[in-house]
Amino acid sequence: ATMPPLLAAIANAGRHGVLVKSAVAMEQLGAVTVVAVDKTGTLTEGRPHLVAGDDEVLALAAAVEVWSEHPVAAAIVTAAGERGLRPAAAREFRATPGVGVTGVVGGRRVSVVAAPDSATGGRTAVAVEVDGTRVGVLLLADRVRPSSAAAVAGLHAVVGAPPVLLSGDNPEAARRVAAEVGIHDARGGLLPHDKADAVTALRREGQRVLFVGDGVNDAPAMATADAGIAVGRRGSDLTVETADAVVLRDDLEAVPAVVALARRARRLVV
């Protein structure tokens, strides 16, 4: 017997290292008219490194970030270690996706939060606050994945519309990465529900939206979109669960190929 087209496409996607969860998911991937992508950990490697920040500010931030799974947190904890700082771990840790983290260090409330207002030169900026007062800013940089520019061009060609970038990072950082990968419509400073609202706005225009992302901050947008692809083995559990497909390799190379497969399979069954 020959395999039904959508199942054959699932097998084929698997050979590209992409797990498509069902025939329905494959069909939805084949129907999209525009693609929205996340920046950090999706277009970029999601392994930022610290490029600026004072020891004292860094030590405070690291005390809180030891409890966080965000890539920014890993960069801060690593940098503190490299400088020989030995911060005590904070108590009463709390994380707010897309915003930052907070905890109690030596009786003071220390928060590390997005600083969209800072002059960042396209870097990720986080402000460190003690009892609500800003004591410094840390700047971080992340590398664009080598496969991102080709994936953006490929998605544009396959879907027939230019991809848009939806980022929780500051607008300058969003535009910098967008320019590097060939995206003209880049929006930054978005909270998780803002990303979802941007997807809703596209759907109201009659678009069928594919959202491609990796973080827990992307889950609402992915749930709102017509289709979702989670990127990378290190993608957040919630986002992997919400997605229609999961890229098991740590790059975007296969994404346009899988959307093309989905479109061909869909034409054979619809």
Q: 158 vs 219, which CB is nearer to ligand ADP? A: 219
Q: Which does 139 bind (CB under 5 to 8 A by kind): ligand ADP, Mg ion, none?
A: none
117 belongs to the catalytic site:
no
Residue type, 127: A
Q: Which does 87 bind (CB under 5 to 8 A by kind): Mg ion, ligand ADP, none?
A: none
Give the N- to C-terminal CA distance of the chain in Å, as an integer: 20
State which of residues 87, 168, 220, 232 lies at the interface with ligand ADP (CB under 6 A): 168
Asked if 65 and 101 touch (Cβ cutoff 8 Å), the reply is: yes
**CA distance linking residue 42 with residue 128, whole number of Å:** 25
> Is residue 118 close enough to count as binding ligand ADP by CB under 6 A?
no
Asked if 40 and 46 touch (Cβ cutoff 8 Å), the reply is: yes
DSSP-assigned beta bridge partners for residue 134: 129
Q: 59 vs 261, which CB is nearer to ligand ADP? A: 59
Asked if 15 and 270 touch (Cβ cutoff 8 Å), the reply is: no
Q: 128 vs 159, which CB is nearer to ligand ADP? A: 128
235 to 264, contacts with ligand ADP by CB under 6 A? none
State which of residues 148, 217, 224, 242 lies at the interface with ligand ADP (CB under 6 A): 217
Which residues, 6 or more positions from 250, have their beta carbon under 8 angstroms from its beta carbon? 45, 145, 231, 232, 233, 234
Check 38, 142, 169, 244 and give the catalytic one: 38
Residue type, 31: A
Closest approach, Cβ 171 to Mg ion, in A, equals 16
Q: Which stretch binds ligand ADP (CB under 6 A): 24-32, 36-44, 49-57, 256-264?
A: 36-44
Q: Which does 228 bind (CB under 5 to 8 A by kind): Mg ion, ligand ADP, none?
A: none
Residues that bind Mg ion (CB under 5 A): 38, 40-41, 214-215
**CA distance linking residue 38 with residue 221, whole number of Å:** 10
Closest approach, Cβ 167 to ligand ADP, in A, equals 4
Per-residue DSSP letter, 59 = H
Token pair of 78, please? 């690593």
CA torsion, ordered 179, 184, 189, 193, to nearest 10 deg: -130
Token pair of 187, please? 């929006």
State which of residues 12, 27, 30, 40 lies at the interface with ligand ADP (CB under 6 A): 40
Q: Which does 102 bind (CB under 5 to 8 A by kind): Mg ion, ligand ADP, none?
A: none
Q: Taking CB positions, which residue lies at the least distance from ligand ADP?
A: 168
Number of other residues whose CB lies within 10 A of the CB of residue 187: 17
* Contacting residues toward ligand ADP, per CB under 6 A: 38-41, 65, 68, 70, 72-73, 98-101, 112-114, 124, 126, 167-169, 215, 217
Which residues are tagged catalytic?
38
